[in-house]
Chains A and B, each alone.
Chain A
């Protein structure tokens, strides 16, 4: 964490990400002009932070700057993977990631304190506080009495995974069936390209991390498309838990590819506005992803089984 001073400020990174989200939502293509005033107004901020965020994007090669023309997009804004990879991590990002990884491996207890985290990670108080604030905003952590924070329950054991699966079965098809569902066309196209490319890879070259990104983004797109804001919020909060380390267990490439094919079939029906069929296929997909799997079995051990939820 000592290199924090050289890293970009978190608020500039956040704004840079927002600029790219806006560019994607507006359908900006490579070479599209990015006027500072228009961006500032679309992002509801003043021009000064926009300038800093655009400079940051220019350093990463995401936007291009010319004295005469100003800023323009240097990448395809409909490819979120490319954008995510371009932005550097802030000190808080790295700390958040380390905290989540250590909690998943049970190196951190369920309760943590600011001073404990400062000692463990050699981080400044303000960095730790920002990381804790981020984790709290993302509903991964709760403020406990005194100076401590409490990790919320994650779907990282068979019982919690079963409950998570039930929750998604209730709400994800409902997100599609609630009147007013709207598919983000650009996001759907980017996801389709990503999923088709991944499904075409040979098993030995299959990228599980890319699968995880696509899987979360696919289900996130369905949540975001819901016209009912409470369904969308509840699902988005829950899907955030699936980004945590240690959630994707018990998977093999055959099932992951099958899961991608199921996603593509759902997408076909969403794009052709056959929402009822898409919701039915989504329900089947989620059920296939939560088959019973043995929790423990061995010679002479009783046949006792628990739920393990595969990606879906």
Chain B
């Protein structure tokens, strides 16, 4: 017999996208009487409590001082900003491989405390929203749910483009990219398989860091951008969600000194906000366009001067509420942002800098829900033409509005909560 108030542990990776997807699912679980709690990485403390959820923090061995943190971060940005302007293939050695090394480091350091936490919490199910398996979860024996909150390319298939490639499915360069990818990530992958072996888990095939769950897998892929697969996913274990948009407080559009025209929202996520040079170049173009622009600059407000009168900078926006009032969303192709644009029927202008942003940018073009612009290869005229073109594309807008109504009628958060609770009833 199932419990009336099952405890569901949600463990999102240390990124806002995954964290906020899980908040949406947790809100729907709570509304159904479950007790969702979060395991979070050090420093994410407060993100989930802000939405009223109990948090359990993974301990950090050597917390950095404020100045160490600052200099580490500056070094990270200095090192990687140039890489964000490279092609997906050229990022494999410069960004993707080191990133996988960092992700494996996270899994290694989380292993012991995660085992302890799961033993303490004795959850009825664990929801893992990450790109890597934490062996403590697979070895725990609890039912676990995989949330594929990246682009659908995270689950390979012959008719789906390679993960992180930004390619079309039938691109001639596909095989070369796949070989390049496997070679680049091999050292991190071998290290990860050793961690699995230590935990008594079988190794994963080359290039794979996370198996599908034997219990339930949730894909944040709205139907309008979904791909036909050569080997369709088993609907008993794989559920596609129409996004996973959390509920957020209302947003009041600020008064602009030049206060007219459509509303455009620009957010490249917390990491993308570090690319001040790119955003400054874009502001120059925004200044001459007949529109109002909301620009998320994270904690870097002081890096900007003489901001145009039709631009409003801020450190944070309640994104779903803002997107709902916008006519165009310029973003980095993070799957969370992409799904929010679709959910509110807003065209996307995707300027990806890494990871699955490339895949979503390609898919937006293929499916006619937005446009793709590389971060480096644009002129002021191209950016202006692209923005004005998207704002004037009534056919795209009508199609997106129809799709948004369909997505609203099948909220991903509700479907996810239902599927997780059904898993406990079987």
Chain B residues with CB below 8 A from A255, complex form: 50-51
Partner of A98, one of B257, B311, B316: B257
Contact present for A106 and B51 (CB under 8 Å): no
Residue numbers in A under 8 Å from B99 (CB-CB): 299-300
Residues of B305-323 contacting chain A, CB below 8 A: 305-309, 311-316, 318
B115, chain A: closest CB distance, angstroms: 20
Task: Evaluate contact between B301 and A297: CB separation under 8 angstroms.
Answer: no
If A106-B301, A256-B249, A294-B16 touch, whether A299 touches B257 (CB-CB below 8 Å) is: no
Interface hub of A158, A293, A303 (most chain B Cβ within 10 A): A303
Cβ-defined contact, A107 with B271, below 8 A:
no
What DSSP secondary structure best describes chain B's contact surface? Answer: loop
Q: Give the contact stretch, choosing among B68-76, B165-173, B193-201, B375-383.
A: B68-76
Please state if A302 and B270 are interface contacts (CB–CB under 8 Å): no
User: Which of B41-49, B118-126, B365-373, B414-422 forms contacts with chain A?
Assistant: B41-49
Say whether, besides A258-B52, A297-B14, A107 and B309 are in contact (CB < 8 Å). Answer: yes
**What mask results when residues 283 to 312 of chain B are scored 1 for a CB within 8 Å of chain A, else 0?**
000000000000000111110111111011
Q: Would you call B270 and A294 a contact (CB within 8 A)?
A: yes
A306 in contact (CB, < 8 A): yes
Chain B, 218-260, CB within 8 A of any chain A CB: 247-250, 252, 254-255, 257
- Interface residue B273 (Cβ < 8 Å from any Cβ of A): yes
Known: A298-B270, A299-B99. A109 touches B72 (CB 8 A): no
- Let me know if A252 and B43 touch, CB within 8 A: no
B99 to chain A, nearest CB (A): 3
The residue from A250, A294, A305 contacting B315, defined by CB atoms under 8 A apart: A250
Q: Which residues of B contact A101 (CB under 8 A)?
A: 254-255
Residues of B within 8 A of A305 (CB): 43-44, 69
Contact partner, B95, options A246, A251, A300, A308, Cβ 8 Å:
A300
CB proximity of B191 to chain A, nearest CB, Å: 15
- On chain B, the residues within 8 Å of A294 by CB distance are 14, 16, 43-44, 47, 270
**Complex contacts, A300 vs chain B, CB 8 Å:** 95, 98-100, 102-103, 354-355
Contact between chains at A252 and B248 (CB < 8 Å): yes
What 0/1 readout, one digit per residue, does chain A (273-312) give for beta carbons within 8 Å of chain B? 0000000000000000001111111111111111010100
Q: A254 an interface residue at 8 Å Cβ cutoff?
A: yes
Q: Which residue of B lies closest to A248 (CB)?
A: B316
- Residue contacts A-B, CB under 8 angstroms, 13 given: A105-B312, A105-B313, A249-B316, A252-B318, A258-B52, A294-B47, A297-B44, A298-B16, A300-B102, A301-B76, A302-B72, A303-B42, A305-B44
Contact surface of A with B, Cβ cutoff 8 Å? 98, 101-102, 105-107, 109, 156-158, 203-206, 208-209, 245-246, 249-256, 258, 291-306, 308, 310
Sorted nearest first, the 5 A-B pairs with minimum C-beta distance are: A291-B46, A300-B99, A305-B43, A298-B271, A253-B249
